[in-house]
Structure 1
Amino acid sequence: MTNDHDVEHAKLTEQIASHPYPLVFVTVSGAHLYGFPSPDSDFDLRGVHLLPLETIVGLDEGDQTVEKDCIDNGLEIDLVTHDAEKFFRMMLKRNGYVLEQIFSPLVLHTTPEHEELKAIAKRCITRHHAHHYLGFAATQWKLFAKESPPRVKPLLYVYRVLLTGIHLMRTGEVQANLNQLNESAKLSYIDELVDRKRSGPEKGTLNDTDLDFHTRQYERLTATLESAYQASTLPEMPTARDALNDLLIRLRLHPRTSGIVEDGV
C-alpha cells in the first residue's frame, strides 16, 4: 500500500521533472530541513539549474531564477532554483542560506557536480558568516515580537538561526536541523516548542507571558553567537573562487544531469 510519504515524494519529484532547465541539485529547505514541520507546512525546494550555452552567449537573456509554486491535492510546493553562475556568486558572499541548501541531507535530485560542489562549499565558509545569522535572527525576532499573541514559528526560526550560527563558528559545520543542534545546546524549552509546532497548525501561538523569558534567551544566544564569532578560527575570506570558476566552465561546456535520487526525503 502506498503511504503518505511515498505520495508526497512522487509529487515533489514530479515538480522537479517539469523544470525547464537541467538541474545540478534540488534539496529540501524550510521547516522540513529545520526539523519542525507542521502538518500543513509547505515544501520548500531549493536548487541550482544550468542555463544553456546559447542563452549565455546570445542576446536572449535566460532565467537567472526560476520560481514555481503549486498546490497538488492540498500539498503546497515552492520550488526556487538559481542559475549556476548566480548561485556560485552567492556562495562567495556571507550567505549561509545557500550553504544550507547545498548541505541539506534531504536530497531530491543530485548529480556528480553536486558532490563536487559540497567539497568546494567547505572552502566558502568564513567567520563572517556570523553576520548572516545575526542579521537573520534579528529579522525573525522582530516578526516574532511584533505579533500579539506571538507565534511559535518565527520564534523557532530565531532559535534555529542562532544555534546554526554558533555551531558554524565553533565547528565549521553547516547544520540547520534544530533538533540536532539542541543535542549539544541542551535548551530544555526547544523540545516543547518543536512539539507544539509539529502537532499544531502553522499559525500556532504562545501566551504573552512567555515573551519576557524568550526575550532573555534571544539576547543571551545573540551574545553567545557574537562571542563565538570573535573566538572563531574560521578563515577571513573564502578560497573557493577558482574552483567554482572551473566547475562553472565545465558545466557550461559539458552539461550533464542524473536521475532523481531514489532514496530522497
Structure 2
Amino acid sequence: MNAEERLLTATAEHPFSLIFATISGAHLYGFASPDSDYDLRGCHVLPTANVVGLEPGPWTVQSERRDSDGFELDLVTHDAFKFLGLMLRKNGYVLEQLHSPLIVHTTPEHTELKAVALGCVTRYHSHHYLGFAETQWHLFEKGRPRRIKPVLYVYRVLLTGIHLMRTGEVEANLVRLNETARLSHVADLIARKVAGREGETLDDDVAWHRREYERLRQELESADRSSSLPERPTARAALDELLVRIRMRT
C-alpha cells in the first residue's frame, strides 16, 4: 500500500467514530524529508456507555505503525469532550490540527468546528508559541551537533504565532509563512531538510540564529501587545451546544 492507503486504513481501523483526522508534523509544516514519519491527529467520539460509567474513556487514543519499508505512522486522537476543552485554552496544537489542509477523514462536524474555532483564538495563544519556541531553541542550542530540524521548528512556531496575532488565522506551513516573512535563511533550511540533508550541522551558525530567534521573539511579543484579538474565547456556548448534539447521537 502507498502512504495514502495506509493513512486511510489507520482511520478505518480506529476503535471509535472520528469527527476528523488530519496530517500534522513536518508534512503540515512544509518541510517533510523523504524519511519523515506521518503524524495523524484528530478527534473521536466515545459511545455514551464509555462516558457515563465510573471509568469513562479513553479520552485519548494513541497508536503507532512501523512498516518494514520505512513507513512510520503516529496516530493520536482525543475524544470530543477533551478536544473541545483544549480548543478553549491557549493551545495552538489543536487549532493547527483542526485547520490542517491535509485531511484524511472529515465530517460535517469537522467543518462546523473549524468555523466555531474562530471564537477560540485569543491574544494569549502567543504564550503557547513563545513557550514552544523557547523549548525548541534550547534543544537546538544544546544539541551536539546542532541539526536543522530543531531550528526549523523555532522559526515555524514564531512565524505562526506572529501571523496568528496579526490576522487571527491559523497558518502552520512554514513555506507559506515565509512568503510574507521573506527570510532567505529559512528558505535555505527548508530546502536542505526536504532534500534529506537534515544531518548537516549548523554549529558555525549558532550565534547568528540566536540573534534571529531573539528578534522574532520580540516581534511576536510586539504583535501580541498590538493585537486586536480578544483576551478570552467567545466560543464556549457554541462548543457546548455542538458537544451535546454529538453526544445525543451516540
Q: TM-score range by the shorter chain?
A: over 0.9
Report whether the alignment pairs 1:67 with 2:62.
yes
Q: Which moved more, 1:205-214 or 1:168-177?
A: 205-214
- Determine which of 20, 38, 42 is the counterpart of 1:25: 20
**Deviation of the 1:112 alpha carbon:** 0.2
Report whether the alignment pairs 1:40 with 2:25.
no
Report whether the alignment pairs 1:143 with 2:145.
no
Q: Distance in 2 between matches of 1:10 and 1:124?
A: 33
**Deviation of the 1:208 alpha carbon:** 1.3
Report whether the alignment pairs 1:111 with 2:92.
no
Q: 1:230 matched to which residue of 2?
A: 225
Q: 2:205 matched to which residue of 1?
A: 210
Q: Distance in 2 between matches of 1:114 and 1:100?
A: 13
The runs of at least 4 consecutive aligned structure 1 residues that moved more than 6 Å come to none
3-state SS in 2 of match to 1:68: strand
Q: Distance in 1 between matches of 2:23 and 2:56?
A: 28
**Deviation of the 1:151 alpha carbon:** 0.7
**Deviation of the 1:109 alpha carbon:** 0.2
Report whether the alignment pairs 1:198 with 2:212.
no
Q: 2:74 matched to which residue of 1?
A: 78
Q: Distance in 2 between matches of 1:18 and 1:228?
A: 43
Q: Distance in 1 between matches of 2:132 and 2:249?
A: 37
Q: Distance in 2 between matches of 1:65 and 1:223?
A: 35
Give the unaligned 5+ runs of structure 2.
none
**Deviation of the 1:204 alpha carbon:** 1.6
Q: Distance in 2 between matches of 1:175 and 1:162?
A: 11
Contact 2:148 2:202 in 1 (8 A): no
Q: What is the TM-score of this pair, normalised by structure 1?
A: 0.92
**Deviation of the 1:16 alpha carbon:** 1.0
- Determine which of 8, 12, 15 is the counterpart of 2:10: 15
Deviation digits for residues 112-145 of structure 1 (CA, Å, limit 9, x no counterpart): 0000000110100001100000000000000000
The alignment yields a C-alpha RMSD, in angstroms, of 1.1
**Deviation of the 1:193 alpha carbon:** 0.2
Report whether the alignment pairs 1:167 with 2:163.
yes
Deviation digits for residues 76-118 of structure 1 (CA, Å, limit 9, x no counterpart): 0000000000011110000011000010000000000000000
Q: 1:155 matched to which residue of 2?
A: 151
Report whether the alignment pairs 1:97 with 2:61.
no
- Determine which of 215, 239, 249 is the counterpart of 1:220: 215
**Deviation of the 1:58 alpha carbon:** 1.9
Amino acid at match of 2:206: L
Q: 1:131 matched to which residue of 2?
A: 127
Q: Distance in 2 between matches of 1:77 and 1:116?
A: 27
**Deviation of the 1:61 alpha carbon:** 2.2
Deviation digits for residues 17-48 of structure 1 (CA, Å, limit 9, x no counterpart): 11000000000000000000011100000000
**Deviation of the 1:9 alpha carbon:** 0.1
Q: What is the TM-score of this pair, normalised by structure 2?
A: 0.97
Q: Distance in 2 between matches of 1:30 and 1:154?
A: 13
Relative contact order: is structure 1 or structure 2 higher (C-alpha 8 Å, sep ≥ 6)? 1
Q: Distance in 2 between matches of 1:89 and 1:209?
A: 43
Give the unaligned 5+ runs of structure 1.
1-5, 256-265
Give me the identity figure in percent. Answer: 59
3-state SS in 1 of match to 2:243: helix
3-state SS in 1 of match to 2:200: coil
- How many residues were matched structurally? 249
Q: Distance in 1 between matches of 2:43 and 2:34?
A: 28
Q: Distance in 2 between matches of 1:38 and 1:29?
A: 14
Amino acid at match of 1:205: E
3-state SS in 2 of match to 1:39: coil
Amino acid at match of 2:38: F
